[in-house]
Amino acid sequence: MPEKRLSDLAIRNAKLPAGRREKMLGDGGNLFLRLRPESRDWMYVWKVGGTKRKLMLGPLADLSLAEAREKARVTRGQVADGKHPRLEREKQRSEQFALEREQASKVRDVEQLFETWFAAEVEPNYKDSGNEIRRRFTKDTLPALGTLRLEAVKRSDVVRLIDSVAQRGASRVAGHLLADLRQMFQFAVLRETMPSNPTNGLRKQDWNGQATERDRVLSEDEIRLLRDQLPAAKLIVETECAIWIMLSTACRVGELSRARWEYIVDKQLRLPKEATKTDRAHDVDLSPFALKQFKRLKAANPKSEWCFPAKHHTGPVYDKAITKQITDRQRPKQLKGRSPATETLKLPGGRWTSHDLRRTASTLMGKLGVLPHVIEAVLNHAEPNRMKRIYQRHEYQVEMRDAWRRLGAHLTKILRKKATAAQLRQ
C-alpha cells in the first residue's frame, strides 16, 4: 500500500493537538513536517544502524511542499550513497564559498565585480531578479566606475558618483545606490579582492537619500469619524471592507488585494510566501471584527475565487485601486474620470493612506501592551540581520494570535462610541 502523502490543503489545515508540544506529519520517503507551538519545519528522518537521525531542511515559511520534496530527494540520494547529509551540506557551503572566492580573485575592475556579485547575491534573492539594481548600475555606476581597477577605487570616487545622482534631484536613488555599492564592495572585501570598503563612513542622509518616514496614525476619534463618513464617500463594499481589515490585521494593501478565498482557512488568512512582499509565508489570525468584514466580502462576490475581484476582468483588483479610491476622496477637486465625492474621507489629522491604517493598527497594539518584537512579527517585516533570519525561527504565533484578538476587541470597543466634534477640534 503506497504511503499517504501530504497536500497543500492538508498542510494549511494542519493543527497541533491541544497539550502537545510536537507532531510529525509524514509525506513519505522519510520527509516530515514537524509542528510545534512556535514553528513548522520540514525534516528528513532516517535510521543508521538502528539509530534515528534528523536533518532540518528548512521552515515551512521558506520551503513549499514541492521544494521540500526536492530537498528530501537529494538527501535520500546522499544517504543511499553512504554519505552523511549534514556533512555534505557543510562541504557544499565550503565549496560554494571557495568557488566564489576563486571567481572573485579573477575580478579586476568594478564592472567584473558587479557581474560576480550580482550573480551570487542579487539575482537569486530578489523577487524581480535584481532588475532594478541592474538598471541603477547600468545608468549611473558602470559608466562612472566600471573600468576602475578594484585596488584603485577610492572613497572620493564613490562620493563623486553619489553627488552626480543627487544633483539631478534623485536623492532617493542616490541613497539606494549607496546601499547597493556598500553591499557589493563588502562582498569583495570578504573574498579578499579589495583591502577595504570605500563606502565606509558614507551615510544616506548626507545626500538626503533616506526615505521620509510618515508617522500618520489615526486617533480613536478619527476612526469613529471615518466610520460616520463612509456612507457619504460612496465606496464600493470591497474597499470599505479593506479599510476595516487593514485596521484589524495590519495587512499590506497589496497583499490583501491579491488574496484568494482559498487562503482563508480555520479563521486565518494564510498568505503563502509568493503572495507576500517579504517572500515569507504569513498566517494572520482573524478576530471576530475582521471575520465580519470577510463575510461581507463573500456576500458581495459569492462566486469569485478572489476576495477582492476586479470588475472588468477575471483577476484580482489592481494593486493601487484601493489606495486611489481613498486618495480621491481626500482631494479638494475632482480629477477627470474619478469620484466626485471629494473630501468625504478627509480627517482632522490630515491626509491618510492605506499604509497609515497598517501603522495605526501596530500603534494600537503597542498601546494595548503587545511587545515590540511581536508587533514586528504581526507586520511580517523582513529581518534586516541575515544571521537572525537564518537562526531565529521562533515565529511567535501564539503571541500574534493574542495581539490580533486584542486589536479586534479594542476596535469593536472604539466603534461603540460616537465621534465627538469638540474632541476632534482639540
The listed CATH number (3.20.20.10, 1.10.357.10, 1.10.443.10, 3.40.50.10190) that belongs to domain 220-425:
1.10.443.10
Q: How many Å from the N-terminal Cα to the C-terminal Cα in the chain?
A: 73
* Per-residue pLDDT tens digits for 24-76: 898 888 899 998 877 788 989 888 777 888 888 888 877 888 888 998 898 88
CA distance 188 to 79: 36
Nearest to 229 by CA among 324, 395, 343, 90: 343
343 contacts 233 by C-beta, under 8 angstroms: no
Nearest to 206 by CA among 170, 166, 155: 166
CA distance 125 to 135: 16
Q: Write the CB contacts of 166 (distance below 8 Å, at least 6 apart in sequence).
A: 174, 207, 208, 209
> Residue 362 pLDDT > 90, yes or no?
yes
Q: Write the CB contacts of 45 (distance below 8 Å, at least 6 apart in sequence).
A: 24, 30, 32, 52, 53, 54, 55
Domain 8-83, architecture per CATH: 2-Layer Sandwich (3.30)
Residue whose entry in the numeric block shows the C-alpha cell 564559498: 97
Nearest to 11 by CA among 259, 286, 250, 281: 281
Lowest mean pLDDT among 80-89, 204-213, 332-341, 360-369: 204-213
Indicate the DSSP class of residue 33. Answer: E
Pairing of strands 39-48, 51-59: antiparallel
Nearest to 178 by CA among 143, 140, 148, 151: 140
Give domain limits for the chain.
8-83, 101-207, 220-425
* Per-residue pLDDT tens digits for 239-266: 999 999 999 999 999 999 999 999 998 8
> Residue 183 pLDDT > 70, yes or no?
yes
CATH 2.40.50.140 fits domain 101-207: no
- Dmax (CA) of the chain: 78
Q: Is 176 helix (H, G, I), strand (E, B) or coil?
A: helix
Q: Phi and psi of 316, rounded to 5°?
A: -80, 170
